[in-house]
Amino acid sequence: MKIGIIGATGYGGAEIARILRSHPYTDECILYSSSDEGTPYHQSYPHLVKLADQTLKPIDIEQIASETDFLFMAAPPGVSSRLTPQLDAYALPVIDLSGDLRLKHQAVYESWYKRESAPGHILEKAVYGLSELNREEIKTAKHIANPGCFPTAVLLGLAPLVKNGLVNESFVIADAKTGVSGAGRKASMGTHFSEINDNFKIYKVNEHQHTPEIEQAVRGWDPAFQPITFSTHLVPMTRGIMATIYLELKESMTGQQLQQFFSDFYQDSYFVRIRESGEFPATKEVYGSNFCDIGVAADERTNRVTIVSVIDNLMKGAAGQAVQNFNIMNGWSEKAGLDFTPIYP
């Protein structure tokens, strides 16, 4: 199978290339980029010298449709809104890692992203690729809107309780923390080493564009949900997301009960690991892997539940989940080419 990757020079695209290099069912990756076309890929990413020496090709949809069997799009915001209508004319299945196709309502997209939305009929058809929750729709989808990094961590943490209607709909606070690679490879003051190192920041307070994505999914499970409070912080590390989620239950559960409930919910989901009661994952414990690790606690003093969910933002939060969806769409094991052991330390 020949795979195309649009946006190969970004971190998401490079991570897909890393994964597919050892994927059992892919023969070749063709890499497309609007920058650096005509140069060998290892010039952008020297760690791939002798491993991925292909020349970067320009983005030409017709050409791509003719020479690839499957397409990953990992382009900056706005590109997919523009290209997807063209792609729609071809049979080529597509997994899109941007935020452009995730929200069902154009007005919501435009209000949070501050840019023009993709056409409504495109948004309608795109299937939200939260692998563990939407397996059936993903299997038959032609176009996947791959979830955002924060929503993946938050939603996998919320799903067991919310889908079962157990959560007080007016009380969810998700305090999220991310490594810097989530901001992409573009140089800016906000990713400058000297500004970030030994520093901890909050950003986009009450304005992060992943907020409506989380709310849309949560309301799909429990339509009574009120707006949630969602905060994002920047951690001086490269990879990793932790979402610390605070909520109140309609009826109280013990930590043990919660742990069992989560374990049961995810018993057929290899990539979600529920920790023992009283144990909580750290971000590095999933580094380089596709796992989402979750710990839960109930606090008798406050009657609140704390859920801690960690992922590698470039793996389960982007490229890893994309390949997981790729596997599901092709009827392969979800683990095919994706069973990386976390690298530690």
In the region spanning residues 175 to 204, those forming contacts with a second copy, defined by CB under 8 A, are: 175, 177, 179-181, 183, 185, 187-189, 191-203
Tell me whether the omega of the peptide bond preceding residue 281 falls within 30 degrees of 0, making it cis: no
Cβ proximity to a second copy, 57 vs 273, nearer residue: 273
Cβ proximity to a second copy, 48 vs 329, nearer residue: 48
Q: Which region, judged by CB under 8 A, interacts with a second copy, from 69-77, 140-148, 276-284, 329-337?
A: 276-284
Q: What are phi and psi of 48, to 5 degrees?
A: -100, 10
Q: How far apart are CA 345 and CA 332, in angstroms?
A: 31
CB of 190 to a second copy, least distance (A): 8
Measured distance between the N- and C-terminal CA atoms of the chain, rounded to whole angstroms = 35
127-128 vs 143-145, strand pairing mode: parallel
Q: Which structure tokens are listed for 61?
A: 């949809």
Q: Which region, judged by CB under 8 A, interacts with a second copy, from 84-92, 120-128, 172-180, 329-337?
A: 172-180
Q: Is 153 in the site for a second copy (CB under 8 A)?
A: no
CB of 8 to a second copy, least distance (A): 13
CB of 288 to a second copy, least distance (A): 5
In which residue are the tokens 């810097």 written? 180
Cβ proximity to a second copy, 173 vs 224, nearer residue: 173
Q: Binding mask 89-108 vs a second copy (x if CB under 8 A, - otherwise)?
A: --------------------
User: Which of 35, 66, 164, 226 touches a second copy (CB under 8 A)?
Assistant: 226
Q: How far apart are CA 147 and CA 169, in angstroms?
A: 22
Q: How far apart are CA 170 and CA 225, in angstroms?
A: 6
Q: Binding mask 283-302 vs a second copy (x if CB under 8 A, - otherwise)?
A: xxxxxx----x-x-x-x-xx
Active site residue 292: no
Q: Is 206 in the site for a second copy (CB under 8 A)?
A: yes
Q: Binding mask 48-67 vs a second copy (x if CB under 8 A, - otherwise)?
A: xxxx----------------
| Cβ–Cβ < 8 Å for 270, 334 | yes
Q: How far apart are CA 296 and CA 272, in angstroms?
A: 13
Q: What are phi and psi of 326, to 5 degrees?
A: -55, -45
126, 149, 305, 319: the active-site residue: 149
Q: Is 121 in the site for a second copy (CB under 8 A)?
A: no
Total residues interacting with a second copy, rule: CB under 8 A: 81
Q: Which structure tokens are listed for 285?
A: 């414990």
- DSSP sequence for 273-310: EEPPTT----GGGGTTS--EEEEEEEETTTTEEEEEEE
Residue numbers 230-269 binding a second copy by CB under 8 A: 231, 233, 235-240, 242, 244, 246
Cβ proximity to a second copy, 47 vs 121, nearer residue: 47
Q: How far apart are CA 26 and CA 39, in angstroms?
A: 23
Q: Is 25 in the site for a second copy (CB under 8 A)?
A: no
Cβ proximity to a second copy, 67 vs 299, nearer residue: 299
* Amino acid code (one letter) for 218: V
| Cβ–Cβ < 8 Å for 133, 216 | no
Other CB atoms within 10 Å distance of the CB of residue 164: 12
CB of 60 to a second copy, least distance (A): 27
Q: Is 224 in the site for a second copy (CB under 8 A)?
A: no
User: Catalytic residue positions?
Assistant: 149
